[in-house]
């Protein structure tokens, strides 16, 4: 994170930022946020309330109601404002939720969160306030053509013990861009219901908003599912606005935790987007502005990879199904991607080594985690082109040295 922060601040223009997850600056969305801020400035009551008042610990009642009505209207989910809680970002929501359901308990038991497929979001890895929070499973591999692949859940290896308190997935997944199929989600939901544990779905990139997902999938929620949404990938990461959709007693708990941990939430994201939730425009923006922007960037980055890496090199890119990243796998790479990271850093190019995304399981003897890396494509085309060219040079050199 220190390296990524340097790239975004003091290193801007010098370091090629190919590893971080900052949203791109979409011109149409930036213009919209400026217009919404002007509208708030002209409405003294709304502006003063946004900046000068604490909101309820669960979030602004009007915003929560607008989100519930949007989801009810679009998908028929039986939601009210009592099913919606706001947190200071989606990652905060998962810190609360994971430590709510898992960890050390007063009766001496210890419970864990099942990650049915890794690699998974690096932001979860150190969220435990107690020991050993996660139990993870290796994926199944589907090879696609000469240079593609996709992860799937290996349901035969889930082996859910009595110590599992919840199942957690992200859709699309950061880092791999993997999107669990509707069938995979349905099967996980059925397993969770049977065992009386929640299925938590991190929808920070997904549908219905922000829509950074390139597959046609069905949004899903019921009382056994805890769904989280975020405003960050719409272009508002600085507002730190996470949205939790869950049954009422869980929302009540989230409100209580908010009150203890932070008193109240950030008002700005809720104020900026409430009219878009009420009108449904948020769905049009996600579908017709946000998704095409990132899909074009994904296609451009893949084209640069195909141009830069020799066809006979054993490289594969995970099927690009959403989020902000390409997930690359260099089979039998003579060095680890951590070593590759250091070589690239010397050349002022930042990627993220894959090993950090494989937590919660024993990876001893499994080379795959050391052969993968995450590459971001949200930066300018010039940055992506130059960064991929340097990456290709170093990868080719590593194979040649073996």
Tokens of 134: 């996660």
Is the same domain home to 350 and 261?
no
Q: For residue 7, what pLDDT is reported?
A: 47
Is 326 inside any structural domain? yes
pLDDT at 158 over 50: yes
pLDDT given at position 383: 94
- State mean pLDDT over 292-307: 97
- The residue-averaged pLDDT of 41-45 equals 94
pLDDT at position 247: 97
**Is residue 35 a part of any domain in this protein?**
no
Q: Are 59 and 84 in contact (CB under 8 A)?
A: yes
> Is the CB of residue 33 less than 8 Å from the CB of residue 236?
yes
In terms of residue numbers, what domain contains 219? 53-279
pLDDT averaged over every residue in the chain: 94
Statement to judge: residues 126 and 254 lie in one domain: yes
**Average pLDDT of span 107-118:** 95
pLDDT digits (tens, 9 = 90+) for 100-110: 999 999 899 99
Q: Indicate which CATH number applies to the domain containing 128.
A: 3.40.640.10
Question: What is the pLDDT at residue 397?
Answer: 97
**DSSP result, 31-64:** HHHHHHHHHHHH-HHHHHHHHH----TT--HHHH
Q: Are residues 256 and 389 in the same domain?
A: no
Give the model's confidence band at 22: pLDDT under 50 very low, under 70 low, under 90 confident, else very high.
Answer: confident
| Adjacent-strand bridge partners of 244 | 85, 228
Say if residue 9's pLDDT is above 80.
no
DSSP helix/strand/coil, 135: strand
Same domain, 204 and 74: yes
179 domain-assigned: yes
Burial of 302 (0-12, 13-18, 19+ CB in 10 A): middle
Average pLDDT over residues 141-146: 97
327, 270: one domain: no
What DSSP letter does each residue of 215-260 carry, written as one string? Answer: S-------TTEEEEEESGGGT-GGG--EEEE--HHHHHHHHHHHHH
Q: What interhelical angle do 268-279 and 61-75 show, nearest 10?
A: 30
pLDDT at 388 over 80: yes
pLDDT of 208 strictly over 70: yes
Closest to 139 (Cα-Cα) out of 152, 149, 150, 148 = 152
Report whether pLDDT(201) > 90: yes
Question: Both 266 and 246 in a single domain?
Answer: yes
The whole-number pLDDT of residue 364 equals 85
In a domain, 388, yes or no: yes
CATH number (domain holding residue 363): 3.90.1150.10
- Which residue, 244, 279, 314, sits at the end of a domain? 279
Residue 251 lies in a domain: yes
* DSSP percent split of the chain into helix, strand, coil, nearest 5: 45, 20, 35
- Encode pLDDT of 209-250 as tens digits: 999 999 999 999 999 999 999 999 999 999 999 999 999 999
92, pLDDT greater than 70: yes
Query: How far is residue 268's CA from residue 231's CA, in Å, rounded to a whole number?
Result: 11
Same domain, 157 and 301: no
Say yes or no to pLDDT of 184 above 60.
Answer: yes
- Same domain for 275 and 291, yes or no, is no
| Domain annotation covers residue 67 | yes
Residue 10 pLDDT: 44
Q: Are residues 259 and 296 in the same domain?
A: no
* Domain boundary, last residue among 246, 279, 312: 279
The band of 19, judged by pLDDT with boundaries at 50, 70 and 90, is: confident
Of 279, 307, 338, which one is at a domain's C-terminal end? Answer: 279
Question: In sequence order, which residues have a C-beta less than 8 Å from that of residue 55 and are 6 or more positions away?
Answer: 264, 265, 267, 270
> 183 and 297 share a domain?
no
| Shared domain check, 63 and 15 | no
Classify each residue of 257-285 as buried b or exposed e, where b means 16 or more C-beta atoms within 10 Å of its C-beta.
bbeeeeebbbbbbbbbbbebbbeeebbeb
Report the percentage of the chain scoring pLDDT > 90: 91
The count of structural domains within the chain is: 2
**Do the domain assignments include residue 48?**
no
Query: CA-CA-CA-CA torsion for 142, 184, 205, 177, nearest 10 degrees?
Result: -10
Q: 11: pLDDT confidence band, cut at 50, 70 and 90?
A: very low
If you average pLDDT over residues 55-76, what whole number do you get? Answer: 96
Helices (H) and strands (E) in the chain, counts: 12, 16
pLDDT of residue 365: 87
Q: What is the pLDDT of residue 2?
A: 57
| Whether residue 253 is found in the same domain as residue 363 | no
In a domain, residue 168? The reply is: yes
Distance CA 331, CA 128 (A): 32
Quick check: pTM over 0.85? yes
Dihedral pair phi/psi, residue 134, rounded to 5° = -115, 150
Per-residue pLDDT band at 3 (split at 50, 70, 90): low
């Amino acid at each position: 994170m220190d390296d990524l922060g340097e790239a975004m601040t003091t290193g801007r223009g010098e370091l090629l930022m190919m590893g971080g997850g900052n949203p791109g600056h979409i011109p149409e969305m930036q213009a919209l946020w400026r217009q919404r801020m002007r509208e708030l400035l002209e409405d003294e009551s709304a502006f003063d309330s946004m900046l000068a008042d604490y909101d309820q610990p669960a979030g602004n009642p009007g915003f929560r109601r607008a989100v519930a009505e949007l989801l009810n209207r679009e998908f028929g989910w039986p939601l009210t404002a009592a099913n919606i809680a706001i947190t200071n970002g989606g990652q905060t929501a998962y810190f609360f939720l994971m430590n709510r359901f898992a960890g050390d308990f007063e009766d001496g038991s210890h419970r864990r969160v099942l990650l049915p497929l890794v690699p998974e979001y690096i932001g979860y890895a150190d969220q435990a306030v107690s020991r050993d929070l996660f139990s993870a499973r290796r994926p199944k591999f589907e090879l696609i053509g000469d240079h593609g692949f996709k992860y799937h859940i290996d349901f035969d290896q889930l082996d859910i013990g009595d110590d599992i308190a919840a199942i957690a997935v992200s859709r699309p997944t950061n880092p791999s861009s993997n999107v669990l199929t509707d069938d995979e989600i349905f099967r996980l939901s059925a397993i969770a219901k049977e065992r009386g544990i929640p299925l938590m779905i991190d929808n920070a990139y997904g549908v219905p908003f922000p829509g950074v997902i390139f597959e046609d999938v069905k949004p899903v929620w019921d009382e056994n599912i805890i769904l989280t949404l975020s405003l960050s990938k719409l272009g508002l990461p600085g507002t730190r606005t996470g949205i939790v959709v869950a049954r009422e007693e869980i929302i009540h708990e989230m409100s209580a935790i908010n009150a203890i941990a932070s008193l109240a939430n950030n008002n700005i994201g809720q104020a900026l987007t409430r009219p878009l939730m009420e009108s449904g425009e948020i769905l049009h923006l996600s579908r017709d502005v946000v998704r095409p922007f990132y899909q074009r960037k994904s296609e451009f980055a893949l084209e640069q990879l195909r141009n830069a890496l020799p066809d006979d090199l054993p490289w594969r890119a995970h099927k690009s199904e959403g989020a902000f990243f390409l997930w690359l796998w260099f089979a039998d790479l003579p060095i680890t991607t951590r070593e590759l990271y250091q070589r690239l850093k010397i050349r002022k190019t930042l990627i993220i080594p894959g090993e950090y995304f494989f937590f919660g399981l024993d990876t001893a003897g499994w080379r795959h985690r050391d052969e993968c890396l995450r590459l971001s494509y949200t930066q300018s085309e010039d940055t992506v082109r130059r960064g991929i060219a340097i990456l290709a040079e170093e990868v080719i050199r590593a194979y040649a040295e073996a």
